[in-house]
Structure formats: C-alpha cells, structure tokens
Structure 1
Amino acid sequence: MARGLFHLLLIIVLVMETHCINDTEVPTHIAHNKSITRKRNIAKREITCGEGNYSFSGQCCTKCKRGHVKSIDCPKTQEHCVPCKSGEEYMDHINDLDECMRCRSCDKALGLEVVKNCTSTENAECSCAKNHYCNSSRCEHCESCTVCENGQIEKECTSTSDTVCRMQVKRKVNNYTTQGNTAAADTGKVHSPETLRLIHIDVDLTHHVPDIVREMTLEQVMTFVRHHRLSEPTIEETLLDNSNNTSEQKIKLFQKWYQKHGMGGAYETLICSLRDLKMRTAADKIERKLKAAVCSHQERRESYNDKTEQSNTCSQEGEKCYDDNAEISKTYPESLEET
C-alpha cells in the first residue's frame, strides 16, 4: 500500500516538471521569433532611405554636398557637414565621407605648373612648364625639351612633344671648320669670327664657372641644366646640400652639367643654349668675358715668347680679338677678368 502511494507521487512530480518545461520553452521561442522580426524590420527601414541619404545603424542620414564632408556619424542636415579647406583640400561629389581629398601639387621640380587652382569642389590642374614636355595622357612629371646644340630647330618644343633639330652639315668659314645646318648654310647665318675662335679652341670652362654663373640667376641656371636633362634628383640634392648659399648652388649645378657634358663643345653649347632659352643678356655678358680672358691670355703668351711677328688687338670691352698670323689651338684655364 505504501509502495503504491510512492509510485503515484512520483508520477505526479514527473507530470508537473514536464508542464513547467513546456511553459518555459514557449516564451523563449516567441522571444526569438520577435527578435528575428525586429531585425527584418530594421533591414527594411535601411533600404527605404531616399536619394541623397544613406543608412547607418538603422537610421537614414543625410549625405554632404560637394566641397563638404560630415562632422558626425549620421548627419541629419547640411549643418552637420563641414567645408573642405580651399586650396588644400577638395570634394568633387556628394558623399558620406568624413575627410576631404588632398589637392594635387603641381611641383616645379617635376617640370609642372598650375593651369587651374584647386578649390573646395575641384582638384588642381597641372601642365608642363615652359621648356618642358610630356607625351602621355596624364603627366605626373615633364621632361626638359631637347636643345639643338649645334644646329637650328626644325620644330619647336611644345607641352606634348619634344624639340626636333635640323640635320647638321659641316662647312668652312674664315678657314675654320665648324658645324651648322642646311638652313643656316642657305641663308648665310654664321657665327662671328670671334665666336668661331672660341668654339674652335674648346675653351676649358672649369676655372670660369664662378664668373659664368655670376651673370645668371639661380632660376636661369636651373632652367639651363634641366634643358640639358640633368636629373631632378641630382638638382634637388645639389640645392639641399647648399641650401644656405645661392651662389654655391649655381656653381655646383653648373659643374654637374659640365661634368656630364664634357669640355668638347661646351662653350658653344652654353652660349647657343642661353640664346635659345631667351637669356640673351646673360649669353652676351658671358661671351664678352670669355673673349676678354682669351685675349688677355694670348697677350701674355705672346709677350713671354717674344713673338714680334704676331699682332693681337683687344678692345677695352673685350668684345673683339684679332690674330692675323696664327690660329689659337690650346685651352685657356685662367680665371676670367672683369670687363
């Protein structure tokens, strides 16, 4: 009897536990379903954001107009957008970004110049600077135009194409062999006798560099060496190494070019290039100085050798030098004399 009551109680306990478990599981299942439903509803709300808006954490936010970026995660009006710094940054489209884009730099060291300034809504536009060209669709840097060192130009250098030089021919002028081009030969445009003398003897410019660059500005020296394809890293390094001395910068840059070119034809290259680059004043001054130095050296040489049959007349300005009896055939390393 007692055993029968025990079994009855055990059955009642098991029934009650089963009922409690079912009562617990049903609310849990319902809560789970509600959570899924909420997530789906949120997803639906994100998709419904209209044009000019974007979704963020279940809410629609306002995109910023051109020239502006957001200042908070979810702007509600344009008041929550901040402008880009004009001349430094820009944003050229409607956006949900928090940083503006940096303006393009038209670096002079890369042969570029600004053709359109950067604004808060448009990036800067660059083009090749004078005496530089680039033949690609988008130029990150421009090359220096080729210099026709001993001839005239067939086709001028443009921002998109290099210089084309005329084919050169040899001819004799006043018993000196020189080089020119077919056009020059036809028109009779030739160097003066004094200039031909200096070209013929290949003056060594090594000791004349300080006096040469004294007649040029730093910008002119940089234009000259770039014209002759001295690399930009070399130019930049030279300027940095002598950053506190403009005179030394000019000397070192010119020496870099001279080492690359070599003595042969350097004088003619220098004078002709300066004139091609519209630096005629500097070319004329340098030419007069070199003529004066050559004349002065020859007078001392003739006096030392007591060559009475030779006559050599130099003008006070050092602009004319005549040698009627012999050709000059050696270099003149002495420092230039002021005229």
Structure 2
Amino acid sequence: MGRAPLSLCRKVQGRALGSSGMARALLPLLLVIVLIIETQCKNDTEALKHIVHNKFITGRIIVKREDRCQNGEYSSGVQCCKKCNRGFVKNISCPTDINKHCVPCKNGKEYIHHENDLEECMRCSSCDSILGLEVAKNCTPEQNTECTCAKNYFCNSSVPCGHCNPCTICESGVIEKQCTSTSDTVCGMKETGLQWWATALMIMVVLLPIAGAIFWYKRKWKNRTRKENLNEVVLKAVASYENVPLIHRDIDLSSHVAEIVEEMTLQQVKTFVRNHKVPEPIIDQTIRDYLNDTSEQKIKLFQVWYQRHGMKGAYVNLIRSLREFKMCAAADKIEEKLKAAVSSCQEGGQSHGDDTEQSKTCTEESRKILLSVDSADLSKTCSSSFEET
C-alpha cells in the first residue's frame, strides 16, 4: 500500500521535467522570431522617413522655382512662361515672347479681358432685340459686348440684365418721372381745382334739372329719332358708294402698299402700326435699317403690320382704324386709290363680257357691306370724318 503512492509521485515528476525541457527548446525559436519582426519594423520606419524627406526636398525645389517666376509669368514645372496680355491668347504651350507667341482675338467676335495663359478666346455676347435689348458698347478683343435696354424698355436689376420690360404707359397722362433704362415710369394723378366730391356735387346741382329734361325729351322721341338718323346715315353712305366698284373685304393689299403709305406721313404710319400691337423694338429697328429713306421706312413698317394681320379683313381694318385715329383725309384718299385700282381690274374683266351683271353685283354687294355694319360704327365713322373736315 505504501509503494503505490510513491510510484505515482515519480511519474508526475517525470512528466513535469519533460514539459520544462520542451519549453527550453522552444525559447531560442521565439527569440529568433521576435528579432526578425523588430528588424522588419526598423526597415519600414527608415523607408518612411526617406520618402517624407524626399517629398520635402522636392517641395522646396518647386517653391524655389515658382519664386523665380516674375510678375506676368507662370511656371510650367520646368521653366517660367509669359502670360499673354488682354485681347491675346497663346499659340504655343509655353510662351517666352508675347510678341511672337501670343495671337489676337477676332475683333467683334471674340474677346479676353485679363492676362491669361489660355489657348482660345471667349465668344462675344449678343443683345437680343426681342428681349428689349440693344447694344451699348460693341465687342472688342479686350472687352465683351455691353447691352442696355432699348427705348421704352427698362430693367431695374443692379447686375447686367438679360431681359427688359416695357415701360408703363400712364393712363392719366400725367408722368411724374420718365422711364429710363434702369427704372419704370412713375405716373401721377390729374390735378383738379376742387376735390372730386365737390366737383361731383356741383355737377349734380347744376345739371340735374337739365339732365331730367333731356331724358324726358329723348324718351319721347327715341324711336322716331333713331329711325330718322339710321336712314339718313345709310342713305348717305350708300349714295357715296353708289357709283364706286366693289372693294372686297379680303382684298390683297401687298401690291398696293406703296400707294397706301404715299397718302400717310411717317408719323401716321408709326401711330397706326403701334396701335396695332407692332412691338416698339421692331419699329425702331426698321427706322434704323432705312435711316435716310422715309418712303422705305413707311413701306417696311406697313408690311410688318400686314404680315402680322394677314389678308383677311385687312382692308376694312385699315380704313376703319384710320378714321378712328382721326386720319380721315388719308383714309378717303386711300379708299379712292384702291377703288380706282379695283375698278381698273374690273374694266379689264368687262372686256370679256358680263359687265352689266358684274356692275349690278358690285352695287348690291356694296349695299350689303354698308348695311351689315353696325349703325353705331357708321355714326362714329361719319362723325369722325365730319370733325376732321
């Protein structure tokens, strides 16, 4: 019994001595591995230091090289190159003589407004008349085009404006401040000697009895007066057209433009086209295009209106508008010319026969046209003609 524990203790001691022996054998191997790792880390550190040092040296060299370039030059990495002056760009990669190696921009088409090392000029801007713009300064090799608002247009922006707005037209007729290229029209109110309520009171007190008497009289004789006036106007109008050939509502005016504008002044033509919504920039551009030829200005302005309006109803609109604008003398002369032209055309057609039937048709159609016009319009037209005469 006493020997068994003793043998067991000896076995345990033998195993412990074996384990310590293995540890002693592995220790040198561990030391070698640690030494290798330490050496590799040291080499990497030295390589990193060398890279940083090289970059620092290279940076100092580049800075010194850039410091050598003078004002008006730039570094290409190897040498200093000359910058081209305003209005010029380089024609080689590194100019050394601006007189030889810089070429000018195309006048009126390209520009460059600063010292540069560019190879191409910038294109000049254009001023679009449709947007209400016109040229303030033409483009040069050293400066871009400068635009401003055209006449009767404004833009209140502090930066160069790309679109101008039409100036306000004062309905009261009182202008406190004229429209400029940077500010709109400032309208005022009509001044009266008395306050509006005092004026209205005076009118009521003075005119109320008179208005009552007139109203009573008009009510009594309303139907009779209306019938007499309408008959008189229609009879006069038909009489004036009785012996005149038919003027069609849709007559082609394109071949009669010169004859029409011959009876109108330039100001009358401008007033006519302006009241028919022809844009102001187009009117101004047409005047500038034919600056010393008044006849051509009138023809071109009238053609602009006719192209926008079209043939349908153009003749009636022309004559009626001239009378409304108090140009009755011009309207009468134009009417006579066009009737003569159509009459001449009809006479040419009568040589082939049917002259009696055509004359009858013209007269009947003239009556229909006159009678189809509203009586109020006829009265207004006739009264306008009478006032001008």
Into which bin does the TM-score normalised by the smaller protein fall? 0.3 to 0.5
Q: As a proportion of its length, which structure holds more strand? A: 1
Q: As a proportion of its length, which structure holds more helix? A: 2
The structure having more radius of gyration, on CA atoms, is 2
